[in-house]
Chains A and B, each alone.
Chain A
Amino acid sequence: MAVVRLFRNIFGPLLVLVLWQLVCMSGLINPLLLPTPITVFAVYLDINSLQSLSEDVLLTFVRAMAGFLIGAVTGVMLGILLGWFRSIYLLFEFLIEFFRSLPAAALLPPFMLAFGIGNTSKVLLVGFSCALVVIVHTAAGVRNRNPTRAMTAQILGATRFQIFHKVILPEVLPAVATGLRISISLALIITVVAEMLISTDRGLGRTILDMQLLFKTPEMYAAIILAGALGYAVNKLISLVSERIIHWEGK
């Protein structure tokens, strides 16, 4: 079974690599525009490129995580508040839905004007976008939970605070986790876009764009693959952690 699973997991990537190599070998495409996979992976073997790419990954990761954490903390707190007080939620529902529907990249210029061109504007935009997603999911979790458990706790003698912290908080965890899973991907997307648009000297977004402008396409693809690997890794991590903590979900 392990062999079958291994085969299933590597079949897709292997197929893409082989097709990619075949297309390159056919001579139909200028190797300057599409280098062979071997040339791309050779970039990782170059110690200077590898070091510079690792720094890019780290920078992008730190920016995305900082924004994600800001968004997660404020999103959970506001989401619980808005889920609890339906009347307040209704006052802000339109605003939340409007900004959630607005493509986040469109807000980069005003964020630059407000917070400068350094890390602050990038991290805050990530935080803002993540917070909106987390608010919506958390508030829905609080609002749509089954009232039976809270009622049971009340009958068993729980105070209002005990009901909140021993029943409602754990009950809302699955909804919060869904919001966090969506926003961690969003955080990476916005960080990479922000790195491309706001003048920055380092970061995966910046490097991908610079390498394209310099026609250093193997380096560009090497950075893209790392961006994908980073996104995959944080997604897996958050799924594993939430399945561990929220072991009862879906059972």
Chain B
Amino acid sequence: MTNNEAPTAATQGDTKADGTFRVQGISKSFLLKDSKTGEPVKRQVLKEITFDIPRDKFVVLFGPNASGKTTLLKIIAGLEAPDSGIIEKPRPDMRIDLIFQNYRDSLFPWKDVLQNIAFPLELSGVSKKERNDAARSLLAEIGSDVLSENDYKKYPYELSGGQQQLIAFSRALIVRPDLLLLDESFAALDHDTRYLMQDVLIKAWEELKFRVLFISHSVWEAVYMADVVVLLSKRPANVLDVVEVPLERPRKREVEYSKDFFELRSEILRVFESELYGRGPIIS
């Protein structure tokens, strides 16, 4: 299963036409100070990580705490350089956006909703009217369930967590990125909002057709959202397994109670727990 180059026949042509986005043999180490001796020690966080992000698959990355997932996202986004390995892009000028986990720290509190979303267009010198129109129509397209038009002039601190997360998504999506990286976007949201935002993101992905790599800390979330779950090992992280999730789309919430869903979830947990604790599941 480590080989994930087996898309279904129906989607294969699509993937090929758009080229392959491949994370190829990425390794990364950091120099850390030893807590006792104060000597610098080299600690490897990523070890030859390889997987693909196909155009038509929702890819979720799942792994233990502190396994270097955020570092991996930064490397893919070009914010950090790997020690070895390459990011193979179908086109060199691909637009890659990264959405950080903490939306509070990444939104601009001095800008209102529309100004925040239009920020990337402001950077490229698009006129105020045009960029506001673009922000409005994007919000109407992907966010009408979460944000009403009365909220467009509000500031981020006046909005709920889910609404702020929507602004962060929209700000990234307004320039139509080829690849969107999301770092545990819903970890801080309550259960209901998390449900809602998962569906908002999937809907946006289905409509705007960007590649996606989504980090999750929840097996349930991973299975619900993904077509492909990439399982990482403990540090130094490498790819333990790539699990295909053949549940049909569009997915309904009921799928969570299905036998297939349960089995996929158990399969991932089994791999994950044996990696973490060196044993099989508690209940076999």
For the side of the interface on A, what is the size category?
20 to 34
Is A167 interfacial (CB-CB < 8 Å)?
yes
Stretch at the interface among A79-87, A152-160, A177-185: A152-160
Identify which of B79, B105, B157, B175 contacts A156 (C-beta below 8 A). Answer: B175
Residue B110 is within 8 A (CB to CB) of chain A in the complex: yes
Q: B123 near A162 (CB under 8 angstroms)?
A: yes
Q: Is B120 an interface residue (CB 8 A)?
A: yes
The size of the chain B interface, using a CB distance under 8 A, is 23
The answer on a CB contact under 8 Å between B97 and A155 is yes
CB-defined contacts of A149 to chain B, threshold 8 Å: 105-106, 108
Q: Nearest Cβ distance between residue B182 and chain A, in whole angstroms?
A: 12
B242 interfacial contact with A, CB 8 Å: no
Instruction: Known A148-B100, A148-B102, A247-B155; judge A156-B108 contact (CB<8 A).
Output: no
Nearest-CB residue, chain A, relative to B97: A155
Would A157 and B100 count as touching, CB distance under 8 A?
no
Cα distance A225–B100 when bound, in Å? 54
Alpha-carbon separation in the docked complex, A153 to B105 (Å)? 12
How far apart are the CA atoms of A159 and B97 in the complex, in Å? 15
User: Nearest Cβ in chain A — how far from B199, in angstroms?
Assistant: 24
List residues of A (139-186) whose CB comes within 8 Å of B's CBs: 146, 148-149, 151-159, 162, 166-167, 170, 173
Please, which residue of chain A has its CB at the minimum distance from the CB of B109?
A248
Q: Is the CB of A148 within 8 A of B106?
A: yes
* B171 is an interface residue with CB less than 8 A from chain A: yes
Residues on A with C-beta less than 8 A from B110 are 170, 173, 246-248
Is B214 part of the binding interface, using a Cβ–Cβ cutoff of 8 Å? no
In the bound complex, residues from chain B placing their C-beta under 8 Å from that of A157 are 120, 123-124, 175
A126 to chain B, nearest CB (A): 30
Residue of A nearest to B105 (CB): A148
CB distance from B196 to the nearest CB of A (A): 23
How many A-B pairs with Cβ below 8 Å? 52
Instruction: Compute how far the CA of A157 lies from the CA of B97 in the bound complex, rounded to whole angstroms.
Output: 9
Closest chain A CB from B167 CB (angstroms): 12
B98 located at the interface, meaning its Cβ lies under 8 Å from any Cβ of chain A in the complex: yes
Contact B172 A156 (CB under 8 A): yes
Give the Cβ gap from A123 to chain B, nearest Cβ, in Å. Answer: 33
> Inside 8 A of A152's CB, which chain B residues have their CB?
98, 100, 106
Task: Select one of B79, B108, B123 contacting A170, CB under 8 A.
Answer: B108
Task: Give the residues from 204 to 235 in chain B that come closer than 8 angstroms, CB to CB, to chain A.
Answer: none
How near does chain A come to B88, taking the closest CB pair, in angstroms? 20
Is the C-beta of B77 less than 8 angstroms from some C-beta in chain A? yes
* Most A C-beta atoms less than 10 A away, residue of B79, B102, B106, B155: B106
A73 to B: closest C-beta gap in Å: 22
- The smallest beta-carbon distance between B207 and chain A, in angstroms, is 21
Chain A residues lying within 8 Å of B106, measured Cβ to Cβ, are 148-149, 152
Q: Is the Cβ of A155 less than 8 Å from the Cβ of B108?
A: no
Contact residues, B125-160 vs A (CB, 8 A)? 155-157
The smallest beta-carbon distance between A176 and chain B, in angstroms, is 13
Q: Given A156-B123, A157-B120, A248–B77 Cβ distance below 8 Å?
A: no
Give the distance in Å from the alpha carbon of A170 to the alpha carbon of B110 in the complex. Answer: 7
A171 to chain B, nearest CB (A): 8
Residues of B within 8 A of A155 (CB): 77, 79, 96-98
The distance from the CB of B214 to the nearest CB of chain A, in whole angstroms, is 16
Smallest CB-CB A-B distances: 3 pairs: A248-B109, A251-B157, A148-B105
A interface residues with partner B (beta carbon < 8 Å): 146, 148-149, 151-159, 162, 166-167, 170, 173, 246-248, 251
Q: A151-B100, A155-B96, A166-B123 are in contact. List 11 more A-B contacts (CB 8 A).
A: A146-B105, A148-B100, A155-B77, A155-B97, A156-B97, A156-B120, A156-B175, A159-B123, A166-B119, A248-B109, A251-B109
